[in-house]
Chain A
Amino acid sequence: MCRFLLYKSNSPILLADLLTRPAHSIIMQSTNCKLRMDMGQSNGDGFGIGWFDEPRTKGCIFTSTLPAWSNINLQRLAEKIKSGLVFAHVRATTGGTATSETNCHPWQYGNLMWMHNGNIGGFEAIKRRLQNSLREEIYLWIQGTTDSEHAFALFLNMLDDPLHRTEFSHRELRQAMLRTIEQINVWLDEAGIADTSLMNFAVTDGQSVVCTRYITSSEREGASLFYSSGSEFRSEEESGQYRMVKANKREDVVVVASEPLTYERSDWMVIPTNTLLVITPRLNVRLYPILDQYWNPHRGRQKHLQACC
């Protein structure tokens, strides 16, 4: 169970404004997260940040097995690096995988970058099958042992020539994402796995972002995921509190995070469970329900159903 954060904007942001400074920054979430389903509070098994500087060029990734809160290099880099597209991840290992740099999110392949919050229940039962399905170059690329990296490999396998292409339409990424989830579900079913899987995936080609909040259950809520959009994410001069400024109708900034970065309630919206969120190159936010066997619009709590009309 991990926490992740992604940011896309027309204007680069200093990483510190996302990672270290806000009241509930990803660093805070690494030591004191609030919404983990297992009620754990620390995500100290390494971290990773990935960022892009120019469109159509590869991003850069910095990972470490140290806890994010104790890595002084992260603090230093965050005060200097600016980017308009950032992935950040703090890890709590699952499934007994090693705490190693190869197992730290995010991963990248060509221009594509990927991270995952959650776990694929009973992944060992389908791991061999998944690997067998991969094209050779993708299979050989895998370095770590996690379900997350394997899910990325499966996603890459859904795309034509993912290594050499610099851009993908967001529709293509969205469809590959849906097919990845669909394929994992098929194998899990075939393997008779009853464990619940949490598949909060995020992928980007440096321009579009596709992410999911997904659970293989039609009753339970998925691992938490929030989003916020507006014209600028910055701290207010008087209070120092970070706010999503909404100065016009256009969305110039979109942030997606496992937990809100601030305590400004109206700045953060829940991504409904089993929903796919797209941030288009022009920063339009799209929300698509994932209409499979686990889709349930009335998921969650008992509703009042008195007549309204």
Chain B
Amino acid sequence: MLSPAPQLRQALHQTLSVGPDHGAVLALAQTRDLLIAGTQRGDILAWSRTTFRRTHAALGAHSAGCLSLALDAERHVLFSGGGDGRVRAWDARTLAPLYTVHAGENAGGVLALAYFGAMDALALGCQNASVQWFDVGRRRAMVGGELAERRSRFFDGRAADSGAASPDPSGPAYVVDERCIAAYAHTGYVYCALAGQLADGRAALFTAGGDGAVRVWAVTDDGQPPQQLHVLVRPAGAGTNDADSDSDDDDDDSCVHALALGADGLLFAGLQNGAICVWDLETMQCIRTLAPASGAAPSVFALLAAGGLLYAGGADGQVRVWTTTDLQPAGHLASVDAENRDPVLALAGGGGSGSSSAGDGEVVVGGGGDVGVWAVGWRDSHVPQQLDLPTTPGQQQQQQVDATAAPQDMLRTLGRWVQLRSVAGVPELQPECRRAALFLRDLLLQHGAADARLLAGAAGANPLVYARFDATSGGARGAAFAPGTPTVLVYGHYDVMPAGDSALWASPAFAMRGRDGHVYGRGVSDDKGPVLAMLLAVADLHVRGRLALPVVFCIEGEEERGSLGLQAAVETHRALFGAPRVVLLSSAYWLGERTPCLTYGMRGSIRATVRVAAPERSADVHAGVWGGAVSEPLACLSHVLARLVAPGGRVLVPGFYDAVRTVGAAETRAMRRLVRWITDKEAEAPLVARTAAASPQPERRKATRARLHDQLMRRWRFPTLTVHHVDVSTGAAPSNATLVPAAAQASLSVRVVPDQSLADIAAGLRAHIEHVFAECCAGGVDEALRLELDVQPVAQWWLADPAAPVYRLAAQAIREAWALDGSDGNAATEPESEDESNPDSDDETGTGTGTGSTPLLIREGGSIPAVPWLEAFFAPHAVAVNLPMGQSSDNAHLANERISIENLIRGRDVVYRLLDGIADVVDTQNP
């Protein structure tokens, strides 16, 4: 029985913007930590391979294009070759410049570089057809005047040289020795130089270029330049499409743009005419010519052999893939952007294992536009695919929990989860919600949960996902908790907001895409990404035997619809949750972009609908006929609404502000410190930038601070009332402005704060509306109006004590995970600065807001009903901790929702550290 051909599994993992200032990417290299690109304008760009953020400002490396890169991995040296005829050496970790090597005179651009570790030497492929050899280890300082002899009568004779010659970079300079130059090594530009070895293990240099020839050179470590061993001959007309192709190799007109060496002694050459020639280095014979199955073959500009695969980047922007073992086509890297036809000019990466089964590799593709980072591997098509699930627990065991761990697994899983469009309340998407719940359940089981199952929610609503990880170091284990068993409850949600207007999304909302260190997609930040990060942190602790308490998960599917059914489900299954000491969630955002925050308070909310109807008529009537003789529901409703909020925003419901907690002096000071921090350190954050721009005197920081202070107090600290929309019952077209509607309604919400009572405010609101309505009706026309009022408390306000031990631990975990230097996050221990001459004592009211230190202690204006409810339900021990993972620019609920990869990685680390130390700060004894 034939086994089916293996399939290439590939996904565009991350897209990195290069920016128009740098031009095309001409060369790529990867160190352990960095992804490095050389550009048309001569710059070197570097990204972190973990977070995909740019790690350095662009380095101006060459005055005319950075054409080639090579790496000395052992000594951590990066070499760049430029169109200016220079090679520059850089520290491959810090990208600090080390020295400059001038190629031989009139070399033109250094098109190719190959580094030989054993000899510590560098081969240069140059535009003037020469191959040059630079002995890095034995380099000697340049003799004065060596370059002076290269003065050009044309360029240097000019009195006012317009800076055409690039300024000499600082640092030592060297020059390639004349005796180490093989002039006319080729008769064309030497586009490729490759360090490798021959079948007998001897080190060899392979060069190729504009003359179509591939040459093999012996290299030795005695300081001598390479000696030519072979010229590899293509069979007559190999891979040429010309009918009139001349068999004389010298007259061949198909240059070689790329070389790659397979692990099994095969050399690949990518030709201008689109073919790839394959030589067996044992016999020095061309054994195959690979060409696209059909169509005109675009030039091959870049080759990469890695992980059993050969990648060929072409002039048409495609990367075609072959297997290197049996030289069979294995597909291509699917270009996301079909319009992107920039040629592929550089490939890097590989990684992965040599085995053809599970080898996951990374291929970096560069060219005219952005740099794409692809995750590739094999999919065994005969292995049944159920839910395409992430890493198995076995693999999990090998993972290191540190912030530098490769995030690919987490992101791949997140990508699959995001694909499931779990929008609650949309009937046709209910099955997808269920699939998203099942996906999570299976994920929990795979990561070591002792129990994971769906709990029924409200009728017609989505189920909740429950899971339990047993304690591994001391706490309770087993299927059932004794009453009062201490646990940690992780709360989150798998439902997401609707995508909204798809035209506003740069990429499809439910297909996760990575760009510039972020992943984009609906739910990546709210709340699937943070839930996944929490899950993986718990799984890591579990695998390492470091779970001091059982951890139970309650991940609901109706959060965006007000947590429908959550309370009933938890009440029904109370025994499954033990007695949570901590309710952990991550459903909040940083105040800015860079400073980690810890959220300890949220406002509560009440929703209301007010409907005013004329019960004696069911239909609209014509205003010309009936106007004046019938009552006006919309006018009445408008009166009611006008009496709810004054123009300045003050709520007019009697007694509304009575219970609002007084703002203490300490709280004001802490708020000032927070505002100062955020305006000083986060000037580009949307919040600060918008406030500064709106400030009447934008140049005055003080004015910005005052406005920001006021804004934050209004958002976090004070209650508010919002009229969301007003509607009429008219069945006529909106353009029909001649009708008196039979009914009108408005929806409102109130955000409440400590110590307002939800019930009191709801009752007060109800009474006030009824009162105003009655006033409106008094003295009206005959026809009575009816008021239909529905007031629903949705969420209690929530306020934790940020001085509580678990908050101190969380702050510590954040500081460690983000490597922040750190004083305690508590306001009291923060040294006073500037005008705060009066250090305050501990904020005993618990309302003390953020500090000048990190993480910033913040509150949010929004509401999450589950948080205060769970805290109350599992009282008296439960303390809720909201760990925001995302940045303020994450666009939750909006188009282009995103989350930074680094925030996910470090967020996971924060949770790990927090739970790792949880036994020290909570009562783990069963009372």
Contact = CB atoms under 8 A, between A and B. Distances in A.
Interface of A: 34-35, 169-171, 224, 226, 229, 245-251, 259-260, 263-270, 272, 280-282, 284-289, 297, 301, 303-306, 308-309
Contacts of B299: 250
Contact of A272 (B24, B64, B128, B146): B128
A309 B315 contact: no
Given A229-B127, A266-B164, 14 more contacts: A34-B153, A169-B246, A246-B67, A247-B368, A248-B367, A250-B315, A263-B158, A266-B64, A267-B64, A272-B106, A281-B253, A284-B210, A308-B135, A309-B224
A272 B67 CA distance: 23
Nearest to B191: A249
18 contacts: A170-B251, A246-B40, A246-B64, A247-B24, A247-B368, A250-B315, A251-B210, A263-B161, A266-B64, A267-B64, A269-B106, A272-B128, A281-B253, A284-B188, A284-B272, A287-B128, A304-B178, A309-B179
Residue from B64, B223, B315 having most chain A Cβ neighbours under 10 A: B64
A257 to B, nearest CB: 11
Interface string B204-236: 000000111000000000111000000000000
A284 B271 CA distance: 12
Contacts of B153: 34-35
Minimum-distance CB pairs A-B, first 8: A308-B177, A309-B223, A266-B64, A171-B251, A284-B210, A265-B164, A280-B253, A269-B108
A248 B210 contact: no
B143 to A, nearest CB: 5
B797 interface: no
B185 to A, nearest CB: 11
Interface string B264-301: 00000000100000000000000000000000000101
Contact of A265 (B26, B135, B152): B152
Contacts of A226: 154
A34 B159 CA distance: 12
Nearest to A267: B64
A282 B254 contact: yes
B65 interface: yes
Given A270-B106, A284-B272, A305-B178, A297 B183 contact: yes
Interface string B181-211: 0011001110100000000000000000011
Interface of B: 23-24, 26, 40, 63-65, 67, 82-85, 106, 108-109, 127-129, 135, 138, 140, 143, 146, 149, 152-155, 157-158, 161-162, 164-166, 177-180, 183-184, 187-189, 191, 210-212, 222-224, 246, 248, 250-251, 253-255, 257, 272, 299, 301, 315, 343, 345, 367-368
B83 A286 contact: no
A301 B301 CA distance: 38
A272 B343 CA distance: 32
Nearest to A286: B187
A37 B285 CA distance: 50
Contacts of B250: 171
Contact of B154 (A260, A282, A288): A260
A92 B235 CA distance: 49
Contact of B272 (A250, A287, A289, A297): A250
Contact of A301 (B149, B210, B343): B149
Contacts of A284: 188-189, 210-212, 253, 255, 272
Contacts of A266: 63-64, 82-85, 109, 164, 166
B225 to A, nearest CB: 8
Contact of B135 (A251, A263, A305, A309): A309
Contacts of A269: 106, 108, 127-128
Contacts of B140: 306, 308
A251 B83 CA distance: 14
Contacts of B85: 266
Contacts of B253: 170, 280-282, 284
Contact of A248 (B24, B155, B180, B248): B24
B925 to A, nearest CB: 69
A282 B253 CA distance: 7
B345 A248 contact: yes
A293 to B, nearest CB: 18
Residue with the greatest number of chain B CB neighbours at <10 A, chosen from A224, A263, A266, A268:
A266
Nearest to A224: B154
A285 B223 contact: no
Nearest to B106: A270
Contacts of B24: 247-248
Q: Which of B67, B135, B272, B301 has the most CB of A within 10 A?
A: B272
Contacts of A268: 154
Nearest to A239: B162
Q: Specify which of A35, A247, A248 lies most central, judged by the most chain B CB atoms within 10 Å of its CB.
A: A248
Contacts of A285: 188-189, 210
Nearest to B85: A266
A65 B138 CA distance: 59
Contacts of A171: 246, 248, 250-251
Contact of A247 (B23, B63, B246, B251): B23
A276 B153 CA distance: 22
A238 B187 CA distance: 37
A288 B213 CA distance: 14
